[in-house]
Structure 1
Amino acid sequence: MNAIANTLNWTDALSLNQPQIDQTHQEFVALLNELGGCLQAAASSPLEVLPIYQRLLVHTEAHFAIEEGFMAATGFAADNCHSKQHAMVLDVMREVLVHTLTTQDLAPLRNLLTELANWFPAHAEMMDAALVFHMTQVGFDPATGSFVEAALAGAAPISSCGSGSCG
């Protein structure tokens, strides 16, 4: 955690050595930090916080869409738990936006910031790392959207996170 409550520092531990995903993740962490800094300001108001939060939401929608595109291109099953996590996070983020817009109450947004900062490292380490591994195994180049080698042609689609508790 960072000196600003509820935010993250980008570290090598978060890197997946996949440039497109790492760049998106760095941007996500930077937006979390910007939001955390604004929420820490003594007199932060919804008028100051909401534009930053909306940028975070738009970024997260695009971030997850990129990963979903990689999944579709490489044979991840449509019902995998990685995608389900994305959907749940976006649902909560959208609900918090509506709540904040209608009530001007920042408490749920502060709670969400804490939860996102706690959730993200584990998601990246497990779900996103598995996606990067899979892309490597099937020879998918995310920069071009093509397969550079058929390392595991015919590899079975990934339909879970590998845990018996999801799927």
Structure 2
Amino acid sequence: MARLEWSDALALDLPLMDDIHHEFVDLLAAVDGAPDAHLMAAWQSLVDHTDNHFAQEDRFMVATRFASGNCHATQHRVVLQVMREATARAQQGDLNVLRVMAGELALWFPQHAQSMDAALALHLRRVGFDPSTGIVHAPGALPDALIHGCGGASCADTSRTAHAPPEPECAGA
């Protein structure tokens, strides 16, 4: 299985996001190292954390004018759905699906963090968003229109606003 360890390459220079990402990596490692007798509990801790983690980022996006259907939030929903489907299969006795899924998450997460999450962190810094309080300290930097793309480099530019650089439309998640 692909093993993921925390590194500076995953850091976004936004402490609240970095802390929750570090916790995700640690929980994923716990799943990776769990014996079968403890695998379901370790997996459920990862699913619960991921649900809260994604909900937090989704709240940050809503507070700073990302559309609810942007590809970043959509990717969150899809990953959680797949994780929950893996839970259901494991509850029917297929524990191997959790190990395979953990390996896939270890491959997926760095790319997600270094693209979509990095773009979100940049956007949050640009508008002066304080994740702890939810206050936008530079409201003039908020985009005039909702951001429909993910904000990552893998997206194509489709919009411009008076106060912010163009935000891209997702070309694919």
For residues 8-157 of structure 1, the aligned pairs below 5 Å read 8-38=4-34, 44-45=35-36, 47-102=37-92, 104-157=93-146
Per mean C-alpha deviation after superposition, the further-off stretch among 29-38 and 147-156 is 147-156
Question: What is the number of equivalent residue pairs in this alignment?
Answer: 156
Please list every run of 5 or more consecutive structure 2 residues that lacks an aligned counterpart in the other structure: 157-170
Distance 1:109 1:152, change over 3 A: same
Quote how far apart the aligned CAs of 1:154 are: 4.2
Other structure's SS at 1:26 match: helix
* TM-superposition CA deviations, 1:23-47 (whole Å, max 9, x none): 0000000001111011xxxxx32x3
Moved segments of 4+, more than 4 Å: none
Please list every run of 5 or more consecutive structure 1 residues that lacks an aligned counterpart in the other structure: 39-43
RMSD over aligned Cα atoms: 1.6
Letter in 2 for 1:80: N
Quote how far apart the aligned CAs of 1:62 are: 0.2
Other structure's SS at 1:105 match: coil
Quote how far apart the aligned CAs of 1:127 are: 0.5
1:166 aligns with 2:156: no
Quote how far apart the aligned CAs of 1:109 are: 1.1
